[in-house]
């Protein structure tokens, strides 16, 4: 056996452009019949390596037995195209996720509820989607 390696590890390199907050957390406006969870739904935009991402956090409850508009974006944050992500929901009959979509008008819709399998809660903490 020889002496241990004494080489110094390479320094970590930041991604080109680094990470920055474009728009800090702002609350969503919820539609009638939609109730904020303890962690109030909010949205922000971050830039990672030169790419803008829409991120959400928090959650909401309601009775969604069809595709439902659950609220709207703050007017200070707009999206250039329809943006969508998959989010956790109540587990019913083995279905435990739904699609949450932000339209260019700012409308936010949850997809996947049916009369046989309604959505009763959604958490937005995993929502992250490219804006460009």
Least confident of 13-17, 22-26, 92-96: 13-17
Provide mean pLDDT across the span 75-83. 97
Concatenated DSSP letters for 51-94?
A: EEEEEEE-EEEEEESS-EEEEE--TT---SS-EEEEEEEEEETT
| pLDDT in the model for residue 12 | 45
- Report the predicted TM-score, pTM, of the whole model to 2 decimal places: 0.85
Question: In order of start, what are the domains of the chain with their CATH numbers?
Answer: 19-130 (2.60.40.2460)
Place of tokens 């943006």: 83
Residue 1 has pLDDT above 60, yes or no: no
Is 59 exposed, middle or buried, given 0-12, 13-18 or 19+ CB atoms closer than 10 A?
buried
Least confident of 16-20, 47-51, 72-76, 82-86: 16-20
Distance CA 70, CA 57 (A): 14
């Amino acid at each position: 056996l020889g002496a241990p390696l004494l080489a110094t590890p390479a320094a970590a390199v930041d991604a080109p452009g680094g990470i920055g907050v474009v728009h800090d957390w702002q609350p969503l406006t919820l539609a009638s019949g939609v109730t904020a969870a303890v962690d109030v739904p909010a949205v922000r935009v971050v830039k990672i390596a030169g790419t803008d991402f829409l991120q959400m956090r928090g959650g909401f409850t309601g009775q969604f037995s069809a595709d439902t508009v659950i609220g709207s974006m703050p007017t200070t944050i707009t999206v250039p195209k329809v943006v969508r992500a998959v989010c956790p929901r109540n587990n019913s009959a083995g279905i435990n996720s739904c699609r949450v979509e932000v339209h260019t008008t700012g409308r936010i819709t949850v997809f996947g509820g049916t009369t046989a399998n309604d959505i009763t809660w959604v958490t937005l903490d995993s929502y992250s989607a490219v804006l460009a």
